[in-house]
Amino acid sequence: MSFQTFTASSLEEAKQVMRSALGADAVILASKKRPDGKVEIRAIKKGVPLFEGEGPANFARPAPVKPASSLASRTRAGKEAPQQNKPVEGSGLHSRVERSASTSALSRLKGDFSNKLQGNRADTSDPVQKELTDRLRPQGISPQLIKALAVEARNAPDKDLPGMLEFAFSRVLRFAPLTLSKDVPIMLMGQTGAGKTSSAAKLAARAAGMGARAAFLCADIGRAGALDQMTTYAEALDTRFWPIEDPQDVIDVMRNEKPDDILILDTPGVSPFAPADIIAMEAFRDSLQAEPLLVLPASGDMHEHIDWANAFRDIGVRRCIITKFDTSRRIGAAVSAAFESNLALAHFSEAPFIADGLIDANPAYLAHRLLMKDPARIGASVA
């Protein structure tokens, strides 16, 4: 194993020793108080495989990136560091992930794509399946999903195509919009650029519409502009947010600030095929006892979407939010991924505006959206 153990009189001193040894790119795997009163932590450098043989064969370890300042920095007396010591963009988990993902993630995708592409020809003798194939295949809907929809569509009470497709979706997919609650924090996960931060803001706007308040924890401090974006959202929604560097910072916020809000944790874009990224996401999830939700862009490579959804399901994701309906002509990749990985659909996003919020996922919306020749905003008419 490649983790290291650090011991000191207090957790903060142990973290200082850890960062001196591993630099800013460090993830705490576990911590405990020993019988002698000292604190022991185990940590690993972000992006470094936990076990020999994991990760890319020729993994290049980048030089540690020392941020000019850090939220987690503390004075030796245990007091909070001055206000100007805030996270610096360009440091942390996200930049590490982006450097490795481009060379390693695609090579580690699960499944044999060539096998998936064989034996999926439509049954042209079945008029219902043929019609659905003709209309849905150009949208990137998987052959397996088309076949399942055709089986259910035959039993639809309405025999027009929109009616049959809506009925089939209601039987084949699971729809489970979020019920926001202070008792269940939300953790948004997914690839870079999927729309996690804007989804966090839309969930907060949804809470405000219910007469409740939401607060953000932003762990995506490495992405350029991320802190400014979250600051803008927090000010627009009149709510609080905390920049977060590691899972211990989440624990500190919960212990010291005692937020009485609906909590939404926005995480960095990660690869579910990198062991260190998985460890980091599980640690964030456990530190907040949050429900993890996958955020998927509507369009993209269907097979890659499916592999991502399956991998995130393996670490506890059970629902997803599909974004970017407004910028996607074909939406079959995300819908197929939800079907193939048995993820429930929570919400759809078809507009960039925070005030518009999120649409509760529903079969009527999917049926209308997939049958439109020229995609447009349709949420108000079918939600």
Tell me what the mean pLDDT of segment 270-289 comes to. Answer: 90
Residue-level pLDDT at 30: 65
Q: Are 116 and 303 a contacting pair, CB within 8 Å?
A: yes
Q: Which residues contact 362 (CB under 8 A, 6 or more apart)?
A: 175, 382, 383
Cα 174 to Cα 189, 221, 322: the distances in Å are 20, 33, 14
Tell me what the mean pLDDT of segment 211-219 comes to. Answer: 91
Of 19-28, 301-310, 327-336, the one with minimum mean pLDDT is 19-28
H or E, element range at 323: strand 319-323
Of 284-293, 318-327, 373-382, the one with minimum mean pLDDT is 373-382
Asked if residue 24 is part of any domain, the answer here is: yes
Residue-level pLDDT at 4: 84
For residue 306, pLDDT over 60 is answered with yes
Residue 144's domain comprises 120-172
Asked if residue 115 is part of any domain, the answer here is: no
Residue-level pLDDT at 113: 38
Question: Which residue has better confidence, 27 or 370?
Answer: 370
**How confident is residue 2, by pLDDT bands cut at 50, 70 and 90?**
low
Q: Are residues 191 and 326 in the same domain?
A: yes
> Model confidence over 316-369: pLDDT tens digits?
999 999 999 988 989 999 999 999 999 999 999 988 888 777 899 999 999 999
Q: Are residues 299 and 357 in the same domain?
A: yes
The predicted model scores a pTM of: 0.66
Q: Are residues 357 and 275 in the same domain?
A: yes
Q: Are residues 278 and 318 in the same domain?
A: yes
Q: Could you say which of 62, 87, 112 is where a domain stops?
A: 87
- Point out which residues pair with 242 in neighbouring strands: 217
- Tally the domains of the chain: 3
Asked if residue 113 is part of any domain, the answer here is: no
The mean of the pLDDT values for the chain is 78
- Point out which residues pair with 22 in neighbouring strands: none
Of 70-84, 121-135, 235-249, 255-269, the one with minimum mean pLDDT is 70-84
For residue 35, pLDDT over 50 is answered with yes
**How confident is residue 25, by pLDDT bands cut at 50, 70 and 90?**
confident
Q: Are residues 149 and 226 in the same domain?
A: no
Question: Which residue has better confidence, 49 or 57?
Answer: 49
Asked if residue 191 is part of any domain, the answer here is: yes
Q: Are residues 162 and 23 in the same domain?
A: no
Residue-level pLDDT at 365: 94
Tell me what the mean pLDDT of segment 239-258 comes to. Answer: 91
Question: Which residue has better confidence, 45 or 310?
Answer: 310
Asked if residue 103 is part of any domain, the answer here is: no
Asked if residue 107 is part of any domain, the answer here is: no
With a pLDDT cut of 70, the percent of the chain lying above it is 74
Tell me what the mean pLDDT of segment 176-200 comes to. Answer: 92
Residue-level pLDDT at 379: 58
Q: Are residues 206 and 164 in the same domain?
A: no
Of 11-15, 70-74, 284-288, the one with minimum mean pLDDT is 70-74
Q: Are residues 196 and 69 in the same domain?
A: no
CB-based burial, 267-284: b 16+ in 10 Å, e otherwise: bbbbbbbbbbbbbbbebb
Asked if residue 331 is part of any domain, the answer here is: yes
**Residue 231, SS3 per DSSP:** helix
Asked if residue 98 is part of any domain, the answer here is: no
Residue-level pLDDT at 37: 82
Q: Are residues 285 and 316 in the same domain?
A: yes
Q: Are residues 273 and 326 in the same domain?
A: yes
Q: Which residues contact 224 (CB under 8 A, 6 or more apart)?
A: 89, 90
Give the chain's largest Cα–Cα span: 78
For residue 150, pLDDT over 60 is answered with yes
Q: Are residues 16 and 137 in the same domain?
A: no
Residue-level pLDDT at 36: 83
The CA-to-CA distance between both ends of the chain, in Å, stands at 50
For residue 95, pLDDT over 70 is answered with no
Q: Are residues 202 and 166 in the same domain?
A: no
**How confident is residue 383, by pLDDT bands cut at 50, 70 and 90?**
low
Question: Which residue has better confidence, 271 or 79?
Answer: 271
User: How many C-beta atoms lie closer than 10 Å to residue 120's C-beta?
Assistant: 12
Render 186-218 in DSSP notation, one character per residue: EEEE-STTSSHHHHHHHHHHHHHHTT--EEEEE
